[in-house]
Every structure is written in C-alpha cells, then in structure tokens.
Amino acid sequence: MRAQVNIENVRKAASLLRDIAFKTPLARNENLTNKFNCNIVLKREDLQQVRSYKIRGAYNKIASLTKEELEIGIVCASAGNHAQGVAFSCFKLKVKGVIFMPTPTPKQKIEQVKMFGGEFIEIVITGDTFDDASFAATEYCELNKMSFVHPFDDEKVIEGQATIALEILEQTKEEIDYLFVPVGGGGVAAGISSIFNELSPNTKVIGVEPNGAPSMSTSLEKGVNVKLDYIDKFIDGASVQRVGDLNFDICQQYLSGMSCVHEGEVCQTILDLYNKDAIVVEPAGALSIAVLNQFKHEIQGKNIVCLVSGSNNDITRTEEIKERAMLHANLKHYFIISFPQRAGALKEFVAEILGPNDDITHFEYTKKHNRNMGPAVVGIELENSSSLDALKARMKKRGFFGEYLNEKPDLFQFLV
C-alpha cells in the first residue's frame, strides 16, 4: 500500500500547534508580481519564531511520543533548521534532546539551537554532510534507547509540515494556480502536495531543488529513491544525498513536477529580496522564488504562491553569496595573467587591457627575478557580461593572457 497523509491527523496537528507555531502571513509581493505579470504571494515561514517551518513537524512528532519515551529523551540530526525546531520543542516540553549537526553548519544556526534549547539540549558536531551526522545520530539513538526525531522521513513530521497547506488555503480566497515549495529531504513537499491534492486538486505543486543536490528530481526520473554520490552543500537547508522514503513515495504520487535552480541564481534572489523588499532569507528559503524565471511564461496572469521556508542565514556568508551571484551572472572572472617582469607592466594592463568600467577585485602576484614573465591570479568584475570576449582578445593581443579559471573549476577552487 502506498504512503498517504491523513488529513484528519493534519487538522489535529494544526490544533496542537495553534499556541506553538505562528500562523505566518501570506503576503502579496509587488516587486515579483510586477516582474512576472501575475499575482505572487509569499508564505512567510521565515517569520516563525525559530525562523523556519521546521517547528511544525518537530513539535508534532515529539508531542506524539509516550510519557516513557519522553522521559528517556530524543535524538535528531539536522543542518540547522530542524535542530532549532527540535530544540524549541524540547524546551517547551521539558524533554532532553541530543542534536547532531554536520561540521559545515553555519555558526549562526548552531548558536540559535543553543539559545532555543537551553539546558534541555546537547549539541554534537560531526561529519561533512547531513547524511554523516544522521548516521552518527542513529547509532547514538540505538545505543541509548532514545527516540529519533527525523527531519523529514517520518509520518508525524510530515503531518506537522502539512499544516502549512491548511493555512495557505484558509488565508486566500483566490484559486491557486501554482505553488512552489523547496525540497531537501522532501517532508514539506510531501505534506503540502498531499493536502492540495485533496483540497485544491487543480493547483500545480512544484518542488524546487538546488542544481548541486537534485536528490528528489533524480529519484523521480529513475522511479526509485536513489542516493547521490556527491552533492554541493552550499544550500545546506536543501542538500541531502537521499530524500526520505515516505516522502519520495508521496511526492511521486502528488507533486506536479520538480525543477532545479542554479546556486548562483539562488544567491542573486537572496540579494534581490534583501535590496528590494528588506526580506532576509537563507539559500533554501530563496529556492521557491529563484525558480520563477523558469516558469515566467506559464505563470503570467496566474495566482502563484511561493513558500519562503526560512531565514536562518549567517551574515558571514554574504561575500560568498555575492561572489556566486556575480559568477552566475557572468560578471566576475578570474584569470592567470602573465605579467612581463618590467616596470610599467601593471600600469599597461590597467590602462590599456581593462575596459573603462572594469574593476580588479582580486590580485595575487609574486615577482620572480629569474623569469621573464610573472604569473598573477587576477579577479576582474565587468560592468557588462558581453565585455568578456573583448577583454580576452586584448589580453591575448598584448601577451598577458595565461589561463581563464572560471572554466577550470578544480584549479579555480584551489587558487581563489
């Protein structure tokens, strides 16, 4: 029998969460509405008290445990948002929790987990990915006979996340044509798509993943839940090597489609939301908006909902976000430049090779006294992406061109 989400259980979860999770706004966004010529509203789960929707599933799961299970305590693994939801729930329910987090988790998320859980939680940092942390957490859980609170592959967690769908349908009088939801492990996509299939079957529910972690897309294409060999962990809140089995089964039945978005496009969306709307989102929280460019023809004149899933962004990542956005827009370029070892070579490069509005943003050079040419790693920001070919041509004509690093990712990551 195929996995299903029981709508009555979701309604019970909504009642349970009434005094725990905020009923977040469903707010029209004028900038996006005008840009795409349709009615776009944002479901602002970034405004939850733990700054993501994860409180819903975490609390619903922990509250469903028996008194004996609660006395022993719970264990979870998370890249951050689920951990905060679990920590908040442990504090509210006075339950001991041990939370395993992967090493690359932003420091800001770790500090938030400590703040929400207080004396009721212990944090263990381990592994390079969520999957590594999850494996360690499972072992610990079995050894200590504790209850595991999975971030997405659990019936009660899915039912908790599904309460978002009930709220959306309560908050709008218009029929929703498209609903875009981020996909990491698939819990929120499974819950929402199930409820919309039952209560608003004409709505197309589209899941959105990062290009570097297309776990659900790959699994749906293959017709079986698969584990990816490698993922890009940049969008940490939506990067897992394998989605949940329950979630895969449900999404296979009810999701209208899946789309993947380049990480650079997500970064540009983060910057745009901040600069134009003063909305702060984490990378996973921007997925449902970043994908809109792919649907700009289909959504014209339609009613669109985008789930903004979280705002737990670490300010120290801002420069990396800007960098990735500019690289994706073809405005930032890195070269190995061969400088003649003579006076005035750099001046010639700046005055006669660079365009009038080009800017050097990165420069690494060591003079070699026993060579005629000295290599330098140079980062150049262009005003227009169309200027790149002309810049390369000027470099080659005057003998400065060495290597173009953007097209050599292994060398690019090593040098820059």
Tell whether 244 and 314 lie within a shared domain. yes
Q: Are residues 16 and 111 in the same domain?
A: no
* pLDDT in the model for residue 313: 83
User: Can you tell me which residue has the tokens 């792919």?
Assistant: 294
Q: Which two structure tokens, joined as six digits, stand for 368?
A: 């070699």
* Claim to verify: residue 316 and residue 373 sit in the same structural domain: no
170 with 48, same domain: the answer is yes
User: Are 40 and 58 found together in one domain?
Assistant: no
Statement to judge: residues 99 and 219 lie in one domain: no
Rounded-to-integer distance, Cα 305 and Cα 289, Å: 9
| Residue after which a domain boundary falls, among 307, 323, 339 | 323
Tell me the percentage of the chain whose pLDDT exceeds 70. Answer: 96
CB contact set of 413 (below 8 Å; sequence gap of 6+): none
Number of domains in the chain: 3
Tens digits of residue pLDDT in 370-396? 556 678 899 999 988 899 999 999 999
Which residues neighbour 68 within 8 Å (Cβ) at sequence distance 6 or greater?
none
Q: Residue 367: pLDDT above 70?
A: no
Nearest in space to 71 (alpha carbons), one of 52, 95, 51, 90? 95
Structural domain of residue 137, as residue ranges? Answer: 54-148
Co-location of 106 and 197 in the same domain: no
Which of 148, 163, 181 corresponds to the end of one domain? 148
- When pLDDT is averaged across residues 13-35 and rounded to a whole number, the result is 97
**What residues contact residue 24 under an 8 Å CB cut-off, 6+ apart?**
43, 44, 45, 47, 48, 167
Q: Is the pLDDT of residue 369 over 60?
A: no
Over residues 231-247, the mean pLDDT reads 91
Catalytic annotation, residues: 54, 309
Query: What does the pLDDT read at residue 289?
Result: 98
DSSP 406: G
